[in-house]
Amino acid sequence: MEKRLENLEILSMEQENTIEALSREVHRQQLSIQMLEQQIQILKTRIEAISQEEVLPPEEDQVPPPHY
Where exactly are the structural domains of the chain? 2-49
Sign of the Cα torsion 32, 33, 38, 44 reads: positive
Helix (H, G, I), strand (E, B) or coil at 63: coil
Q: How far apart are CA 33 and CA 20, in angstroms?
A: 20
* 28-36 CB contacts, 8 Å cutoff, 24+ apart: none
Predicted local confidence at residue 67, as pLDDT:
78
pLDDT score recorded for residue 2: 92
pLDDT of residue 32: 98
Beta-carbon contacts of 4 under 8 Å, excluding residues fewer than 6 positions away, are none
66: confidence class by pLDDT, cuts 50, 70, 90: confident
Distance CA 43, CA 32 (A): 17
pLDDT in tens, 10-62: 999 999 999 999 999 999 999 999 999 999 999 999 999 998 886 666 666 67
- Does this model's pTM top 0.85? My answer is no
